Each structure stands twice: as structure tokens, then as C-alpha cells.
Amino acid sequence: MMAFKQAQWNEPLIMEKSREGVVGFSLSGDDDLHSDVPVELLRKDRPKLPEVSEVDVIRHYVRLSQENYGVDLGIYPLGSCTMKYNPKVLDRIVASPKIQDLHPLQDAESVQGILRILHELSGWLAEIVGLDKVSLQPAAGAQGEFAGAMIMRAFHKQNGDLEKREEIIIPDSAHGTNPASAAMAGFKVVEIPSNEDGCVNTDALRASLSDRTAGLMLTNPNTLGIFEAEILEIAKLVHEAGGLLYYDGANLNAMLGKAKPGRMGFDIVHINIHKTFGTPHGGGGPGSGPIAVTKKLEDFLPVPTVEQDGDTYYLDFNRPNSIGKVHGFWGNSSVLLRAYAYILMMGRDGLEEVAETSVLNANYLARKLSQVRGLELPFQHKVRKHEFVLSAAKMAQETGITAAHLAKRLLDFGVHAPTVYFPLIVNEALMIEPTETVSREELDEFADAFSKVSNEAYTQPDVVRDSPRCTSVTKIDEARASHPKTMQLTWKEKTRVDRKA
């Protein structure tokens, strides 16, 4: 096992490096042409932005980057986040001025290249999820969900029963964005419990379905990494009740070329481009969350769609039944360009290999980790898909070391921790998604790290409790961070407080 020590620069805030008169820009141009601008329109005091050189800026951010862990450094197994390696050539593709310097309102004739790419990508995404038509507009998965829920709304409105159909059913194992998006689209959320094998409880579903049901939102495989084998029955029940079935594409990586959500009976699907198709997560974004729908829902898609007429591609704004826009312009085009290039390079076989190996890796690691003392793999299933959820409840009970402690200690081994305390239906949950882009050796090392932490938990729990120690900072005072008296959200606020003192 390698010895890990993250960089520790104790880097000041860039504002603290400010020295009057130092500049980081080079600009030519006139300086005093604004003398006739009415004074009430002008800013009174210069903003207190840092005055630093370009050298200062580069050193500052390179130092900060060294205090940050990314997929390019090692395994980053956050469950349902699909933190996989993304081919470097894609970074080169999106650096082209032929995308970077394109304005969204350019004449269609001058953007035939990118329109063609977006159009072909729409078709490929529809094929991958087994549905009919795609909108590329949503900027992230949650925006796709919002757009999807708005489409449910438009559909029921057209049928004249939106007043009545005000409920969206969501399993208790769902991502938090599902209920948040449904609520944003004006629906009431009806949560249904999972059954003893971690899947949708079809009896509870039956009991919740009614003429008030607008639809069901589901992830498949679900957040436990278990394929909802009853999906066809679930789809039948929802459709019989007059509802629509929504597929959260967070876990699509496991399904590529193996199963299409459209074949499972889903009517609306969102796709997290940044999880599945060649886009790094950028510390939290940008991503892209296209949605795909069945033929009967395609008129409701956000405006515009990208269409083809002979050899010409164009944006179609003439969509009278559209839900409108969920985002400015056409979507996160440069992220979508990555997906196009990624799919082109992977091809059909490569995408299927992604699904197979991500599932193989998850099952391999699940088997190893379920043998670690204090950890259990709840729910009896032969196989998992791309991810699995361990419970550290036994360890917590026997040693006082919780999933959160364990996660912090793992960081000292130079790996990122799993998602903790999600899904909510597992006690002391550790949700792990290794992805297809880690080697067996990395999986073995990751499992070794777990074993070592488990040993420590049972022999010297304080070592675990006092971790991490090899990261840029030691354990953080979270209570102080969010306490109204000590919370500090900007540097400006700090200076204000200092002045008072």
C-alpha cells in the first residue's frame, strides 16, 4: 500500500494576497472616456477584488488543485455518481475554436457542423435508451427530471385531468433530486417503501396508485445497485392507472447495450451525460441532462429541438405544445460534443463493454468487501449491477465506528470514500460504485484499505475516529461552519466582522 500524503499549502485566500497596484491583466484601450456618464450610474467604490499578478493567480490555483482529489488521481467510488475516467482526447476536442467561439444565435448556415453533431447525438441517445425523441436542453440530471415532470404535467393537462393527477410516486430509495424535481413541477410526492429485497414494493405501489397518480419516478438498477426485476409489472400497473413512468438515468452506465429503459416500459428518461458519456464532473459541474420520450410525448419536449431537412440541420422553434424552455439557448453544447465524440470512439461494442465491466467490477468488489469484519451486504440478491450498498451497522454497534468515521479514515489511504448515509433505507450505508475504469489491482487495494480500517475499528478505534490525518486538512468542524454565530460565507463578511471587533 502506498503512503499517501496530500499537499498541504495552507494557502491564504487570494484576496489576502492582494497588493495595491499589482495587476494580472494586459489591456490596451482608452481610460477616461466615461466622463459624461451620469454619475448616479457609476459605481462609487471599486470592488474589493484581489490585486495580484498572473504568476500569483497560477500559483494560487495550482496549489489549490493539489489540495483536491480527482478521478485522475485514483478511485473515486461515490455511489450513483459514476466517477469514471474520461478520455483525454475529449478535452482536446472541446478546446477547438469551432465550438468554443460559436455563438448560439449564429445563422444556421454557419453552424451546420455542431447542429449535425447535436442531431446525430440525439438519435444515438434515443437508440441507447430505446425511446423516440430527445431534447438536449436540460443542463443537468435534476433539470432533466424537472423537464420530465413538466412533460407529465403537460400530458395530463392535455388529457384534461391535471387538476386531479397531482401525485408523483417515488420509492424511498430514490435520489433526493427526484422528489425535489417533482415538487418544483407542482406535484405532491407520495413516497412508497421498498420491500425486504430492496426493490419496489408492488403491493405498496398498487395501494398508492389511483386516478390522482401523475406518474412514478424510478431508477433502474436502483440505488442499491439491484435491477428491479418486476419492472414490467410495475410499468403495467402505472400505465393502467393512467400514470407515466419516469426513468432516472443516474445508473444508466450498467445498462448500456444490455437493457433499454424504453423496453422496460419507461415513457420519459433523463441521461446524465457527465456520468455515462465522457464528461468529467468539474468539481460539481457542468454536466448535461438530455431527456428522451416516447412518441406520444414528443410534442411536449422543450423548445427548440435539433432537426434535419435533407442535408441541412436546423433548430425547430415551431413546437406549440412544448413545455417551453428550462434553460437559456440549446443546452450545454460543449458537454454534448464530448458525448458525441465518446460514443463515436466507443462504438456499440465499447459501450457494452462499459456496462459489463462496471458490473463485473462492482460485483467483484462487493464480494470482497462483504467479507470485511463489521460490514454486511444487505438484501439477498445473487448479483448487483454497477454499484452496491454496504451497511456498517454491525461495526457501529460493536465498535462505535460509524460509516462516516470509516469514510474519513479511508481518505488517509489515498482513495476517495464512498457515498455515506444514502440510500436512506440502509443503516450506516456505504454506497459504492467503482465504475469500469479501475483496475483489479486498484479494487484489491481499495478492499485492503477497508480491511485495515476494520481492523483498526476493532483494535484501536481512536485512530479511525481521529482521522483523516493525511489530507490537506484534518477533520473539519462542520458544526461551526453552519452555526449562525460562526458561519462565514464570504471573505467580505469576514472583513466586516473584523471591523466591528
Partner 1 sequence: MRNPHPYIPNSSRRVKDEMLRDLGVDDVEALFGDIPDSIRKNSALNLPPARSEMEMKVRVEDILSRNSSTRDVVSFLGGGVWSHYVPAAVDEVVSRSEFLTSYTPYQPEISQGMLQALFEYQSMIAELMGMEFANSSLYDWATALGEAARMSSRVTGRDEFLVPNYISPERIQTLRTFCEPAGIRIIDVKQDRQTGAISNDDLMRKINSKTAGVYIENPSYLGFFETNVKRIGEIAREKGALFIIGADPISLGLFASPGELGADIAIGEGQPLGNHLNYGGPLLGLLACREERLLRQMPGRLIGMTMTKDGTSKAFTMVLQTREQHIRRQKATSNICTNEALCAVAAAAYLSLMGPRGLEKLGKTILANSRYAMEQMRKLDGLKVPLFEAQHFKEFVVGFDSTGLAASKINARLLQRGIQGGICLHDQFPELGQSALYCVTECHTRGDMDRLVVGIKEILEER
Work out how close the CB of 319 gets to partner 1 at its nearest, in angstroms, rounded to a whole number: 12
Work out how close the CB of 165 gets to partner 1 at its nearest, in angstroms, rounded to a whole number: 13
Nearest by Cα to 450 from 370, 355, 350: 370
Cis amide leading into 304 (omega within 30): yes
Q: Which residues pair with 78 in a beta bridge?
A: 432
- Judged by CB under 8 A, the chain residues 11 through 50 that form the site for partner 1 are 11, 13-15, 18, 22-25, 27-34, 37-38, 40-44, 46-50
- How far is it, in rounded angstroms, from Cα 288 to Cα 272? 6
- Judged by CB under 8 A, the chain residues 196 through 225 that form the site for partner 1 are none
- How is residue 389 written as a grid cell? 450498498
Work out how close the CB of 274 gets to partner 1 at its nearest, in angstroms, rounded to a whole number: 7
Q: Are 468 and 424 in contact (CB under 8 A)?
A: no
Number of residues that bind partner 1 (CB under 8 A): 207
- How far is it, in rounded angstroms, from Cα 144 to Cα 272? 9
- How far is it, in rounded angstroms, from Cα 463 to Cα 447? 19
Q: Does 64 bind partner 1 (CB under 8 A)?
A: yes
94 or 458: CB nearest partner 1: 94
Piece of 200-208, 237-245, 416-424, 449-457 that binds partner 1 (CB under 8 A)? 416-424
Q: What is the DSSP string of 187-241?
A: PEEEEE-B-TTSSB-HHHHHHH-STTEEEEEE-SS-TTS---TTHHHHHHHHHHT
- Judged by CB under 8 A, the chain residues 430 through 489 that form the site for partner 1 are 436-440, 442, 468, 471-478, 480-482, 486-489
Per CB under 8 A, the list member of 251, 305, 361, 454 interacting with partner 1 is: 361
Piece of 55-63, 201-209, 241-249, 292-300 that binds partner 1 (CB under 8 A)? 55-63
For residue 453, the tally of other CB atoms under 10 A from its CB is 24
Piece of 74-82, 237-245, 371-379, 394-402 that binds partner 1 (CB under 8 A)? 74-82
DSSP 388: E
Q: Does 246 bind partner 1 (CB under 8 A)?
A: no
Piece of 226-234, 290-298, 395-403, 447-455 that binds partner 1 (CB under 8 A)? 226-234
Per CB under 8 A, the list member of 75, 111, 151, 271 interacting with partner 1 is: 111
Per CB under 8 A, the list member of 5, 66, 159, 203 interacting with partner 1 is: 66
H-helix segments, 414-473:
440-459, 461-465
Per CB under 8 A, the list member of 182, 268, 271, 291 interacting with partner 1 is: 182
- How is residue 137 written as a grid cell? 436542453
Q: Does 83 bind partner 1 (CB under 8 A)?
A: yes
Work out how close the CB of 125 gets to partner 1 at its nearest, in angstroms, rounded to a whole number: 10
325 or 398: CB nearest partner 1: 325
- How far is it, in rounded angstroms, from Cα 214 to Cα 339? 32
Three-state SS string over 230-270 comes to: CHHHHHHHHHHCCCEEEEEHHHHHHHCCCCCHHHHCCCEEE
397 or 483: CB nearest partner 1: 483
Work out how close the CB of 314 gets to partner 1 at its nearest, in angstroms, rounded to a whole number: 14
344 or 463: CB nearest partner 1: 344
Binding mask 373-392 for partner 1 (x = CB under 8 A): --------xxx-x-------
- CA–chain centroid gap for 45, Å, is 40
- How far is it, in rounded angstroms, from Cα 481 to Cα 139? 30
Per CB under 8 A, the list member of 131, 293, 359, 372 interacting with partner 1 is: 359
Q: Does 166 bind partner 1 (CB under 8 A)?
A: no
- Judged by CB under 8 A, the chain residues 317 through 346 that form the site for partner 1 are 323-335, 337, 340-341, 343-346
Q: Does 497 bind partner 1 (CB under 8 A)?
A: no
Nearest by Cα to 306 from 93, 137, 125: 137
Q: What are phi and psi of 292, to 5 degrees?
A: -125, 145
64 or 458: CB nearest partner 1: 64
Work out how close the CB of 17 gets to partner 1 at its nearest, in angstroms, rounded to a whole number: 9
Nearest by Cα to 456 from 386, 395, 404: 395
Nearest by Cα to 375 from 415, 404, 403, 416: 403
